[in-house]
Protein backbone atom coordinates (compact mmCIF):
# COMPACT_ATOMS: atom_id res chain seq x y z
CA UNK A 1 0.00 0.00 0.00
CA UNK A 2 1.23 3.51 -0.78
CA UNK A 3 0.29 6.80 0.77
CA UNK A 4 -0.53 10.15 -0.77
CA UNK A 5 -1.96 13.48 0.27
CA UNK A 6 -3.93 16.07 -1.68
CA UNK A 7 -2.23 19.11 -3.15
CA UNK A 8 -5.13 21.15 -1.77
CA UNK A 9 -3.42 20.71 1.60
CA UNK A 10 -0.50 22.77 0.32
CA UNK A 11 -0.76 26.36 1.48
CA UNK A 12 -1.13 28.77 -1.42
CA UNK A 13 1.56 30.88 0.28
CA UNK A 14 4.05 28.01 0.08
CA UNK A 15 3.54 27.37 -3.63
CA UNK A 16 3.59 24.05 -5.45
CA UNK A 17 7.33 23.28 -5.42
CA UNK A 18 7.82 23.97 -1.73
CA UNK A 19 4.70 21.97 -1.02
CA UNK A 20 6.04 19.00 -2.97
CA UNK A 21 9.25 19.10 -0.95
CA UNK A 22 7.25 19.00 2.25
CA UNK A 23 5.10 16.11 1.00
CA UNK A 24 8.25 14.16 0.16
CA UNK A 25 10.03 14.99 3.40
CA UNK A 26 6.97 13.95 5.39
CA UNK A 27 7.29 10.51 3.83
CA UNK A 28 4.48 10.34 1.29
CA UNK A 29 4.90 8.35 -1.92
CA UNK A 30 2.57 10.41 -4.03
CA UNK A 31 0.27 13.36 -4.40
CA UNK A 32 -3.37 13.70 -5.35
CA UNK A 33 -3.96 16.62 -7.72
CA UNK A 34 -7.21 18.54 -7.33
CA UNK A 35 -8.40 19.97 -10.62
CA UNK A 36 -9.88 23.41 -10.13
CA UNK A 37 -9.14 23.62 -6.41
CA UNK A 38 -5.56 24.91 -6.57
CA UNK A 39 -4.09 27.74 -8.64
CA UNK A 40 -1.56 25.51 -10.44
CA UNK A 41 -4.14 23.04 -11.77
CA UNK A 42 -7.19 24.59 -13.36
CA UNK A 43 -9.50 23.71 -16.25
CA UNK A 44 -7.55 26.32 -18.21
CA UNK A 45 -4.17 24.74 -17.44
CA UNK A 46 -2.70 23.72 -20.79
CA UNK A 47 -1.38 20.24 -21.55
CA UNK A 48 2.19 21.57 -21.60
CA UNK A 49 1.71 23.04 -18.15
CA UNK A 50 0.25 19.77 -16.89
CA UNK A 51 3.35 17.98 -18.21
CA UNK A 52 5.41 20.54 -16.34
CA UNK A 53 3.52 19.71 -13.13
CA UNK A 54 4.36 16.05 -13.67
CA UNK A 55 8.03 16.88 -14.15
CA UNK A 56 8.10 18.84 -10.88
CA UNK A 57 6.36 16.01 -9.04
CA UNK A 58 8.79 13.43 -10.37
CA UNK A 59 11.75 15.72 -9.65
CA UNK A 60 10.56 15.82 -6.05
CA UNK A 61 10.64 12.03 -5.94
CA UNK A 62 6.86 11.60 -5.99
CA UNK A 63 4.21 10.29 -8.37
CA UNK A 64 0.58 11.28 -8.93
CA UNK A 65 -1.76 8.95 -7.05
CA UNK A 66 -4.89 10.20 -8.82
CA UNK A 67 -6.70 13.25 -10.15
CA UNK A 68 -9.63 14.59 -8.14
CA UNK A 69 -11.94 17.57 -8.36
CA UNK A 70 -14.39 19.50 -6.28
CA UNK A 71 -15.79 21.30 -9.31
CA UNK A 72 -18.83 19.04 -9.46
CA UNK A 73 -20.30 20.65 -6.36
CA UNK A 74 -20.98 23.75 -8.46
CA UNK A 75 -21.47 21.93 -11.77
CA UNK A 76 -23.04 18.57 -10.99
CA UNK A 77 -23.59 15.82 -13.53
CA UNK A 78 -27.13 15.69 -12.18
CA UNK A 79 -28.07 19.27 -13.04
CA UNK A 80 -31.29 19.84 -14.92
CA UNK A 81 -29.66 22.57 -16.95
CA UNK A 82 -28.08 21.16 -20.11
CA UNK A 83 -25.27 23.74 -20.11
CA UNK A 84 -24.26 22.83 -16.56
CA UNK A 85 -24.35 19.11 -17.40
CA UNK A 86 -22.17 19.71 -20.44
CA UNK A 87 -19.65 21.53 -18.25
CA UNK A 88 -19.75 18.70 -15.71
CA UNK A 89 -18.99 16.18 -18.46
CA UNK A 90 -16.16 18.35 -19.72
CA UNK A 91 -14.66 18.44 -16.22
CA UNK A 92 -14.57 14.64 -16.10
CA UNK A 93 -13.12 14.45 -19.60
CA UNK A 94 -10.38 16.88 -18.55
CA UNK A 95 -9.71 14.76 -15.48
CA UNK A 96 -9.27 11.74 -17.73
CA UNK A 97 -7.01 13.64 -20.13
CA UNK A 98 -4.83 15.01 -17.36
CA UNK A 99 -4.66 11.64 -15.60
CA UNK A 100 -3.07 10.26 -18.75
CA UNK A 101 -0.67 13.22 -18.96
CA UNK A 102 0.24 12.83 -15.29
CA UNK A 103 0.81 9.09 -15.51
CA UNK A 104 -1.94 7.92 -13.21
CA UNK A 105 -4.88 5.60 -13.83
CA UNK A 106 -7.58 6.93 -11.52
CA UNK A 107 -9.79 9.95 -11.18
CA UNK A 108 -12.36 10.99 -8.58
CA UNK A 109 -15.72 12.57 -9.16
CA UNK A 110 -18.78 13.35 -7.09
CA UNK A 111 -21.47 11.42 -8.92
CA UNK A 112 -24.48 13.63 -8.28
CA UNK A 113 -26.18 16.07 -6.00
CA UNK A 114 -29.67 15.55 -4.63
CA UNK A 115 -31.31 18.84 -3.68
CA UNK A 116 -34.75 20.05 -2.72
CA UNK A 117 -35.13 21.03 -6.36
CA UNK A 118 -33.65 18.00 -8.15
CA UNK A 119 -35.04 14.78 -6.66
CA UNK A 120 -33.25 11.52 -6.04
CA UNK A 121 -34.72 9.42 -8.86
CA UNK A 122 -33.85 12.06 -11.41
CA UNK A 123 -30.29 12.37 -10.10
CA UNK A 124 -29.90 8.59 -10.19
CA UNK A 125 -31.04 8.28 -13.78
CA UNK A 126 -29.02 11.25 -14.99
CA UNK A 127 -25.81 10.10 -13.30
CA UNK A 128 -26.31 6.61 -14.66
CA UNK A 129 -26.45 7.88 -18.23
CA UNK A 130 -23.50 10.21 -17.71
CA UNK A 131 -21.31 7.52 -16.19
CA UNK A 132 -22.11 4.93 -18.83
CA UNK A 133 -20.85 7.35 -21.42
CA UNK A 134 -17.88 8.55 -19.35
CA UNK A 135 -16.98 4.96 -18.48
CA UNK A 136 -16.42 4.24 -22.16
CA UNK A 137 -14.14 7.26 -22.48
CA UNK A 138 -12.23 6.31 -19.35
CA UNK A 139 -11.80 2.73 -20.54
CA UNK A 140 -10.34 3.94 -23.83
CA UNK A 141 -7.79 5.96 -21.83
CA UNK A 142 -7.09 3.05 -19.43
CA UNK A 143 -8.29 5.21 -16.55
CA UNK A 144 -10.77 4.20 -13.83
CA UNK A 145 -13.39 6.59 -12.56
CA UNK A 146 -13.86 6.48 -8.81
CA UNK A 147 -17.23 7.85 -7.73
CA UNK A 148 -16.75 9.25 -4.25
CA UNK A 149 -19.19 8.37 -1.50
CA UNK A 150 -20.03 11.80 -0.16
CA UNK A 151 -23.06 10.41 1.65
CA UNK A 152 -24.50 13.19 3.78
CA UNK A 153 -23.02 15.94 1.64
CA UNK A 154 -24.57 14.92 -1.65
CA UNK A 155 -27.55 13.07 -0.14
CA UNK A 156 -27.13 10.41 -2.80
CA UNK A 157 -26.14 6.72 -2.69
CA UNK A 158 -26.09 6.89 1.07
CA UNK A 159 -25.88 3.18 1.88
CA UNK A 160 -23.29 0.69 0.57
CA UNK A 161 -26.06 -1.38 -0.96
CA UNK A 162 -27.39 1.61 -2.95
CA UNK A 163 -23.90 2.38 -4.16
CA UNK A 164 -23.36 -1.25 -5.14
CA UNK A 165 -26.62 -1.29 -7.11
CA UNK A 166 -25.69 1.98 -8.81
CA UNK A 167 -22.35 0.56 -9.96
CA UNK A 168 -24.13 -2.58 -11.14
CA UNK A 169 -26.47 -0.40 -13.19
CA UNK A 170 -23.56 1.57 -14.69
CA UNK A 171 -22.02 -1.81 -15.49
CA UNK A 172 -18.60 -0.59 -16.57
CA UNK A 173 -15.31 -2.02 -15.34
CA UNK A 174 -13.91 1.49 -15.70
CA UNK A 175 -16.32 2.91 -13.11
CA UNK A 176 -15.86 2.08 -9.44
CA UNK A 177 -15.84 3.75 -6.06
CA UNK A 178 -13.32 6.16 -4.59
CA UNK A 179 -14.11 5.19 -1.03
CA UNK A 180 -13.85 7.83 1.66
CA UNK A 181 -13.82 6.18 5.06
CA UNK A 182 -14.54 9.49 6.77
CA UNK A 183 -17.66 10.40 4.84
CA UNK A 184 -19.86 7.64 6.20
CA UNK A 185 -20.39 9.42 9.52
CA UNK A 186 -23.02 7.65 11.58
CA UNK A 187 -24.91 6.22 8.61
CA UNK A 188 -22.88 3.00 8.66
CA UNK A 189 -19.48 1.45 8.99
CA UNK A 190 -16.56 2.09 6.67
CA UNK A 191 -15.30 -1.47 7.02
CA UNK A 192 -18.59 -2.78 5.61
CA UNK A 193 -18.29 -0.49 2.60
CA UNK A 194 -14.80 -1.86 1.97
CA UNK A 195 -16.00 -5.47 2.24
CA UNK A 196 -18.93 -4.87 -0.08
CA UNK A 197 -17.06 -3.00 -2.80
CA UNK A 198 -13.69 -4.79 -2.69
CA UNK A 199 -12.30 -4.88 -6.24
CA UNK A 200 -14.37 -1.90 -7.31
CA UNK A 201 -12.43 0.41 -4.98
CA UNK A 202 -10.20 2.65 -7.07
CA UNK A 203 -8.62 4.65 -4.21
CA UNK A 204 -9.29 5.17 -0.49
CA UNK A 205 -9.52 8.58 1.11
CA UNK A 206 -8.58 8.53 4.77
CA UNK A 207 -9.65 10.94 7.47
CA UNK A 208 -11.35 10.50 10.80
CA UNK A 209 -14.84 11.59 11.74
CA UNK A 210 -16.47 12.85 14.91
CA UNK A 211 -19.71 10.97 14.47
CA UNK A 212 -21.62 12.81 17.17
CA UNK A 213 -20.54 16.31 16.24
CA UNK A 214 -22.40 17.03 13.05
CA UNK A 215 -21.73 20.22 11.19
CA UNK A 216 -21.99 23.28 13.39
CA UNK A 217 -20.80 26.67 12.23
CA UNK A 218 -17.16 26.43 11.23
CA UNK A 219 -16.58 23.28 13.26
CA UNK A 220 -15.72 20.37 11.03
CA UNK A 221 -17.15 16.95 11.59
CA UNK A 222 -13.84 15.63 10.31
CA UNK A 223 -10.60 15.34 12.19
CA UNK A 224 -7.15 13.84 11.91
CA UNK A 225 -6.51 10.12 11.86
CA UNK A 226 -7.10 8.27 15.13
CA UNK A 227 -8.75 11.26 16.83
CA UNK A 228 -12.29 10.41 15.75
CA UNK A 229 -14.75 7.54 15.84
CA UNK A 230 -13.69 5.41 12.88
CA UNK A 231 -12.87 1.84 13.88
CA UNK A 232 -9.39 1.74 12.34
CA UNK A 233 -8.52 -1.87 13.23
CA UNK A 234 -11.76 -2.94 11.53
CA UNK A 235 -11.05 -0.73 8.51
CA UNK A 236 -7.52 -2.12 8.17
CA UNK A 237 -8.84 -5.66 8.59
CA UNK A 238 -11.38 -5.14 5.85
CA UNK A 239 -8.67 -3.87 3.50
CA UNK A 240 -6.72 -7.07 4.12
CA UNK A 241 -9.84 -9.20 3.67
CA UNK A 242 -10.61 -7.76 0.21
CA UNK A 243 -6.94 -7.60 -0.78
CA UNK A 244 -6.82 -3.83 -1.17
CA UNK A 245 -3.21 -2.89 -1.79
CA UNK A 246 -3.63 0.43 -3.57
CA UNK A 247 -3.27 4.06 -2.64
CA UNK A 248 -4.40 5.54 0.66
CA UNK A 249 -4.94 9.24 0.14
CA UNK A 250 -5.10 11.62 3.11
CA UNK A 251 -7.91 14.15 2.85
CA UNK A 252 -7.87 16.41 5.86
CA UNK A 253 -10.58 19.04 6.08
CA UNK A 254 -9.47 20.86 9.21
CA UNK A 255 -5.98 22.36 9.07
CA UNK A 256 -3.59 22.79 11.95
CA UNK A 257 -3.94 26.29 13.30
CA UNK A 258 -0.22 26.50 14.08
CA UNK A 259 2.76 24.79 12.44
CA UNK A 260 0.67 23.62 9.48
CA UNK A 261 3.56 21.62 8.04
CA UNK A 262 3.41 19.42 11.15
CA UNK A 263 0.06 18.04 9.93
CA UNK A 264 1.83 16.46 6.96
CA UNK A 265 4.34 14.66 9.20
CA UNK A 266 1.71 13.54 11.71
CA UNK A 267 -0.61 12.29 8.98
CA UNK A 268 2.16 10.38 7.24
CA UNK A 269 3.18 8.69 10.49
CA UNK A 270 -0.42 7.77 11.28
CA UNK A 271 -0.83 6.30 7.80
CA UNK A 272 2.35 4.27 8.31
CA UNK A 273 0.79 2.78 11.43
CA UNK A 274 -2.42 2.06 9.56
CA UNK A 275 -0.61 0.37 6.69
CA UNK A 276 1.51 -1.66 9.12
CA UNK A 277 -1.66 -2.55 11.07
CA UNK A 278 0.01 -1.41 14.29
CA UNK A 279 -3.16 -0.06 15.84
CA UNK B 1 -27.76 14.11 -24.65
CA UNK B 2 -28.40 13.70 -28.35
CA UNK B 3 -30.21 11.21 -30.51
CA UNK B 4 -27.97 9.02 -32.56
CA UNK B 5 -28.43 8.77 -36.28
CA UNK B 6 -28.89 5.00 -35.97
CA UNK B 7 -31.64 5.41 -33.40
CA UNK B 8 -33.36 8.06 -35.48
CA UNK B 9 -33.30 5.94 -38.61
CA UNK B 10 -34.58 2.95 -36.66
CA UNK B 11 -37.46 4.96 -35.30
CA UNK B 12 -38.28 6.48 -38.66
CA UNK B 13 -38.33 3.08 -40.28
CA UNK B 14 -40.65 1.80 -37.56
CA UNK B 15 -43.05 4.61 -38.27
CA UNK B 16 -43.87 3.17 -41.67
CA UNK B 17 -46.20 0.76 -39.93
CA UNK B 18 -48.35 3.49 -38.41
CA UNK B 19 -52.07 3.24 -38.99
CA UNK B 20 -54.77 5.65 -40.06
CA UNK B 21 -56.05 8.35 -37.75
CA UNK B 22 -59.52 8.31 -36.36
CA UNK B 23 -60.05 4.56 -36.44
CA UNK B 24 -61.31 2.96 -33.24
CA UNK B 25 -58.59 1.06 -31.43
CA UNK B 26 -60.18 -2.34 -32.06
CA UNK B 27 -59.93 -1.80 -35.83
CA UNK B 28 -56.20 -1.30 -35.70
CA UNK B 29 -54.32 -4.22 -37.11
CA UNK B 30 -51.34 -5.74 -35.28
CA UNK B 31 -48.17 -3.89 -36.11
CA UNK B 32 -49.93 -0.57 -36.54
CA UNK B 33 -49.17 2.30 -34.19
CA UNK B 34 -51.75 4.62 -32.69
CA UNK B 35 -49.32 6.75 -30.67
CA UNK B 36 -46.29 8.34 -32.28
CA UNK B 37 -43.50 10.16 -30.49
CA UNK B 38 -41.76 12.61 -32.75
CA UNK B 39 -38.03 12.10 -32.29
CA UNK B 40 -36.33 13.91 -35.12
CA UNK B 41 -33.04 15.55 -34.06
CA UNK B 42 -33.52 19.13 -32.93
CA UNK B 43 -30.92 21.57 -31.73
CA UNK B 44 -30.98 21.65 -27.92
CA UNK B 45 -33.61 18.96 -27.58
CA UNK B 46 -33.56 17.03 -24.30
CA UNK B 47 -32.95 13.34 -24.87
CA UNK B 48 -34.25 12.71 -21.35
CA UNK B 49 -37.72 13.77 -22.35
CA UNK B 50 -37.73 11.63 -25.49
CA UNK B 51 -36.48 8.64 -23.46
CA UNK B 52 -39.14 9.31 -20.84
CA UNK B 53 -42.01 9.00 -23.31
CA UNK B 54 -40.41 6.04 -25.05
CA UNK B 55 -40.01 4.09 -21.82
CA UNK B 56 -43.48 4.98 -20.57
CA UNK B 57 -45.17 4.01 -23.84
CA UNK B 58 -43.20 0.84 -24.49
CA UNK B 59 -45.95 -1.12 -22.77
CA UNK B 60 -48.32 -0.21 -25.63
CA UNK B 61 -46.32 -2.56 -27.82
CA UNK B 62 -46.98 -2.26 -31.55
CA UNK B 63 -49.49 0.54 -31.05
CA UNK B 64 -46.59 2.85 -30.24
CA UNK B 65 -43.78 4.01 -32.50
CA UNK B 66 -41.29 6.81 -32.47
CA UNK B 67 -41.01 8.69 -35.72
CA UNK B 68 -39.31 11.52 -37.55
CA UNK B 69 -41.32 14.62 -38.41
CA UNK B 70 -42.02 13.53 -41.98
CA UNK B 71 -43.70 10.29 -40.79
CA UNK B 72 -46.04 11.60 -38.17
CA UNK B 73 -49.07 12.64 -40.20
CA UNK B 74 -50.93 9.36 -39.72
CA UNK B 75 -51.48 8.58 -36.07
CA UNK B 76 -54.22 9.00 -33.49
CA UNK B 77 -51.99 10.70 -30.91
CA UNK B 78 -48.77 12.49 -31.66
CA UNK B 79 -46.40 13.41 -28.85
CA UNK B 80 -43.70 16.01 -29.49
CA UNK B 81 -41.32 15.90 -26.52
CA UNK B 82 -39.03 18.76 -25.51
CA UNK B 83 -39.76 20.81 -28.60
CA UNK B 84 -37.36 23.69 -28.95
CA UNK B 85 -36.17 24.56 -32.41
CA UNK B 86 -39.16 23.19 -34.29
CA UNK B 87 -38.29 23.31 -37.99
CA UNK B 88 -41.13 24.49 -40.27
CA UNK B 89 -41.44 20.99 -41.74
CA UNK B 90 -42.13 19.58 -38.28
CA UNK B 91 -44.56 22.37 -37.46
CA UNK B 92 -46.42 21.72 -40.72
CA UNK B 93 -46.54 17.99 -39.93
CA UNK B 94 -48.08 18.78 -36.55
CA UNK B 95 -50.69 20.99 -38.21
CA UNK B 96 -51.51 18.21 -40.70
CA UNK B 97 -51.99 15.78 -37.83
CA UNK B 98 -54.39 18.16 -36.11
CA UNK B 99 -56.30 18.78 -39.31
CA UNK B 100 -56.64 15.03 -39.79
CA UNK B 101 -58.20 14.67 -36.35
CA UNK B 102 -55.27 13.56 -34.23
CA UNK B 103 -54.51 14.69 -30.71
CA UNK B 104 -51.12 16.32 -30.35
CA UNK B 105 -49.27 16.64 -27.05
CA UNK B 106 -46.69 19.33 -27.66
CA UNK B 107 -44.19 19.66 -24.82
CA UNK B 108 -42.10 22.81 -24.71
CA UNK B 109 -38.40 22.23 -24.15
CA UNK B 110 -37.65 25.93 -23.91
CA UNK B 111 -37.44 26.28 -20.14
CA UNK B 112 -33.64 26.43 -20.21
CA UNK B 113 -33.34 27.96 -23.67
CA UNK B 114 -31.18 30.97 -24.34
CA UNK B 115 -32.84 34.17 -25.56
CA UNK B 116 -32.45 33.61 -29.29
CA UNK B 117 -33.55 29.96 -29.12
CA UNK B 118 -36.58 30.89 -27.06
CA UNK B 119 -37.51 33.62 -29.50
CA UNK B 120 -37.45 31.16 -32.41
CA UNK B 121 -39.53 28.69 -30.36
CA UNK B 122 -42.08 31.37 -29.55
CA UNK B 123 -42.40 32.47 -33.18
CA UNK B 124 -43.03 28.94 -34.49
CA UNK B 125 -45.63 28.27 -31.79
CA UNK B 126 -47.39 31.54 -32.61
CA UNK B 127 -47.24 31.32 -36.41
CA UNK B 128 -48.09 27.66 -36.94
CA UNK B 129 -50.15 26.71 -33.89
CA UNK B 130 -51.41 30.06 -32.59
CA UNK B 131 -50.05 29.27 -29.14
CA UNK B 132 -48.79 32.32 -27.27
CA UNK B 133 -46.14 31.76 -24.63
CA UNK B 134 -44.25 34.03 -22.26
CA UNK B 135 -40.59 33.92 -21.27
CA UNK B 136 -39.53 31.01 -19.02
CA UNK B 137 -40.04 31.50 -15.31
CA UNK B 138 -37.61 30.12 -12.72
CA UNK B 139 -39.60 28.47 -9.97
CA UNK B 140 -36.96 27.58 -7.46
CA UNK B 141 -35.38 30.77 -6.16
CA UNK B 142 -38.79 31.65 -4.72
CA UNK B 143 -39.38 28.19 -3.38
CA UNK B 144 -36.09 27.93 -1.53
CA UNK B 145 -37.29 30.52 0.91
CA UNK B 146 -40.91 29.47 1.07
CA UNK B 147 -39.91 25.81 1.46
CA UNK B 148 -42.70 24.51 -0.72
CA UNK B 149 -42.44 22.36 -3.81
CA UNK B 150 -43.86 24.02 -6.92
CA UNK B 151 -45.87 21.06 -8.14
CA UNK B 152 -47.55 21.39 -11.50
CA UNK B 153 -51.25 21.02 -10.72
CA UNK B 154 -53.12 19.45 -13.62
CA UNK B 155 -56.87 19.91 -13.66
CA UNK B 156 -57.52 17.75 -16.74
CA UNK B 157 -58.10 14.91 -17.48
CA UNK B 158 -58.06 14.50 -13.73
CA UNK B 159 -56.52 16.32 -10.82
CA UNK B 160 -52.83 15.42 -10.59
CA UNK B 161 -49.68 16.85 -9.08
CA UNK B 162 -46.43 16.33 -10.98
CA UNK B 163 -42.95 17.52 -10.02
CA UNK B 164 -41.89 20.75 -11.67
CA UNK B 165 -38.77 20.94 -13.84
CA UNK B 166 -37.31 24.10 -12.32
CA UNK B 167 -38.40 26.41 -15.14
CA UNK B 168 -41.72 26.72 -16.90
CA UNK B 169 -42.88 28.33 -20.10
CA UNK B 170 -46.07 30.15 -19.19
CA UNK B 171 -49.04 30.85 -21.41
CA UNK B 172 -50.32 34.20 -22.58
CA UNK B 173 -54.03 34.99 -22.85
CA UNK B 174 -55.55 32.96 -25.65
CA UNK B 175 -58.45 30.69 -26.56
CA UNK B 176 -58.55 27.23 -25.04
CA UNK B 177 -58.79 25.59 -21.64
CA UNK B 178 -55.90 25.99 -19.20
CA UNK B 179 -55.34 22.51 -17.79
CA UNK B 180 -52.37 23.04 -15.47
CA UNK B 181 -51.09 25.70 -13.12
CA UNK B 182 -48.00 26.22 -11.05
CA UNK B 183 -47.71 29.03 -8.54
CA UNK B 184 -50.82 30.55 -10.08
CA UNK B 185 -49.23 30.60 -13.55
CA UNK B 186 -50.97 28.90 -16.48
CA UNK B 187 -48.59 26.29 -17.91
CA UNK B 188 -50.68 23.87 -19.98
CA UNK B 189 -53.45 24.32 -22.49
CA UNK B 190 -56.02 22.16 -24.30
CA UNK B 191 -57.69 23.45 -27.42
CA UNK B 192 -59.58 22.11 -30.43
CA UNK B 193 -57.52 22.62 -33.55
CA UNK B 194 -58.67 21.51 -36.97
CA UNK B 195 -60.48 18.21 -36.38
CA UNK B 196 -58.07 17.36 -33.59
CA UNK B 197 -56.98 18.50 -30.16
CA UNK B 198 -53.80 20.34 -29.24
CA UNK B 199 -52.43 19.82 -25.74
CA UNK B 200 -49.56 22.19 -25.00
CA UNK B 201 -47.33 21.54 -21.98
CA UNK B 202 -45.18 24.42 -20.75
CA UNK B 203 -43.61 22.26 -18.05
CA UNK B 204 -42.04 19.12 -19.49
CA UNK B 205 -43.51 15.80 -18.42
CA UNK B 206 -40.86 13.68 -20.15
CA UNK B 207 -38.12 14.02 -17.52
CA UNK B 208 -40.55 12.97 -14.81
CA UNK B 209 -41.52 9.92 -16.89
CA UNK B 210 -37.82 9.21 -17.42
CA UNK B 211 -37.20 9.34 -13.67
CA UNK B 212 -40.08 6.93 -13.04
CA UNK B 213 -42.65 9.36 -11.64
CA UNK B 214 -45.82 7.28 -11.24
CA UNK B 215 -48.15 10.28 -11.21
CA UNK B 216 -46.72 11.61 -14.48
CA UNK B 217 -47.24 8.18 -16.03
CA UNK B 218 -50.80 7.96 -14.78
CA UNK B 219 -51.56 11.39 -16.19
CA UNK B 220 -50.18 10.48 -19.60
CA UNK B 221 -52.08 7.20 -19.79
CA UNK B 222 -55.25 8.92 -18.66
CA UNK B 223 -54.89 11.37 -21.57
CA UNK B 224 -54.23 8.49 -23.98
CA UNK B 225 -57.21 6.55 -22.64
CA UNK B 226 -59.44 9.50 -23.41
CA UNK B 227 -58.15 9.45 -26.96
CA UNK B 228 -58.96 5.74 -27.10
CA UNK B 229 -55.40 4.55 -27.48
CA UNK B 230 -54.60 3.15 -24.03
CA UNK B 231 -56.56 0.54 -22.16
CA UNK B 232 -58.46 2.05 -19.26
CA UNK B 233 -57.07 -0.55 -16.84
CA UNK B 234 -53.59 0.91 -17.37
CA UNK B 235 -54.64 4.28 -16.15
CA UNK B 236 -55.30 3.90 -12.46
CA UNK B 237 -53.28 1.85 -10.06
CA UNK B 238 -52.28 -0.77 -12.58
CA UNK B 239 -49.17 0.64 -14.15
Q: Which domain holds residue B134?
A: 5-234
Count the Cβ atoms, other than its own, within 10 Å of residue A209.
23
Nearest CA in chain A to B147: A116
In a domain, B195, yes or no: yes
B210 and A125 within 8 Å at the Cβ level: the answer is: yes
Of A81, A121, A129, the CB nearest to B212: A121
Q: Mind listing the domains of chain A with CATH numbers?
A: 2-276 (3.20.20.150)
Decide: helix, strand or coil at residue A42.
coil
Q: How many CA atoms lie within 13 A of B144 on its CB side?
A: 7
B143 and A117 within 8 Å at the Cβ level: the answer is: yes
A116 and B144 within 8 Å at the Cβ level: the answer is: yes
A125 and B211 within 8 Å at the Cβ level: the answer is: yes
Residue B214 at interface with chain A, using a CB cutoff of 8 Å: no
Partners of residue B165 in chain A, C-beta under 8 Å? 80
Of A82, A116, A124, the CB nearest to B112: A82
pLDDT along chain A (279 residues), means of 10: 97 95 98 97 98 98 98 97 96 98 98 95 97 98 98 92 98 98 92 98 96 72 93 98 98 89 98 97
pTM reported for the whole predicted model:
0.88
C-beta of residue B50 within 8 angstroms of C-beta of residue B80: no
Q: If pLDDT is split at 50, 70 and 90, which confidence band does B72 have?
A: low
In a domain, B239, yes or no: no
A122 and B211 within 8 Å at the Cβ level: the answer is: yes
ipTM: 0.84
Q: If pLDDT is split at 50, 70 and 90, which confidence band does B4 have?
A: very low
Query: Is the predicted pLDDT of residue B238 greater than 90, yes or no?
Result: no
CA-to-CA distance for A72 and A78, rounded, in angstroms?
9
Of A81, A116, A121, the CB nearest to B211: A121
The DSSP secondary-structure symbol of B235 reads T
Tell me the CATH number at B104.
3.40.50.880
The pLDDT tens digits for B170-222 are 999 999 999 999 999 999 999 999 999 999 999 999 999 999 999 999 999 99
In a domain, B97, yes or no: yes
In a domain, B223, yes or no: yes
What would the mean pLDDT of B7-23 be, rounded to a whole number?
A: 37
Of B44, B165, B213, the CB nearest to A80: B165
In a domain, B135, yes or no: yes
Choose the mutation target among B43, B44, B48 for the interface with A, i.e. most A CBs under 10 Å.
Answer: B48
Strand A30-35 relative to strand B152-154, pairing: unpaired
Cis omega (within 30 of 0) on the bond before A143? no
Partners of residue B44 in chain A, C-beta under 8 Å? 82
Partners of residue B212 in chain A, C-beta under 8 Å? 121, 125
Of B1, B44, B163, the CB nearest to A119: B163
CA-to-CA distance for A41 and A37, rounded, in angstroms?
7
What is the residue-wise DSSP string for A64-127? EEEEEESGGGTS-TT-SSHHHHHHHHHHHHHHHHHHHHHT--EEEE------SSS-HHHHHHHH
Nearest CA in chain A to B140: A117
What would the mean pLDDT of B125-154 be, rounded to a whole number?
A: 89
Q: How many domains does chain B have?
A: 1
Amino acid sequence: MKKAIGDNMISKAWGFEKGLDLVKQAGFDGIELWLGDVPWFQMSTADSEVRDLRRKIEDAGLVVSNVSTGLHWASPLSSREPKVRAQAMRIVEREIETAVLLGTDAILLVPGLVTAEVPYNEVYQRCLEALRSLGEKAARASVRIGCENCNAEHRFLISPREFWQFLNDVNSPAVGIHLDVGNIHDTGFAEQWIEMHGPRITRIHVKDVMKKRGRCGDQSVYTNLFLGDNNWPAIRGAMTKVGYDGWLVAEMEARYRYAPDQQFYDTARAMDRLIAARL
Amino acid sequence: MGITRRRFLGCAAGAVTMGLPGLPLDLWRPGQASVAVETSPQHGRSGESVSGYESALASLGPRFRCAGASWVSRCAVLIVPAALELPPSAARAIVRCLQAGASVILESGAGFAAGRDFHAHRVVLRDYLQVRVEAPVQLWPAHTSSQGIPYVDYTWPYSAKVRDFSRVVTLGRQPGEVIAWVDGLPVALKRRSGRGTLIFLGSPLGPALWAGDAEARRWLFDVLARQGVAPVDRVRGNL
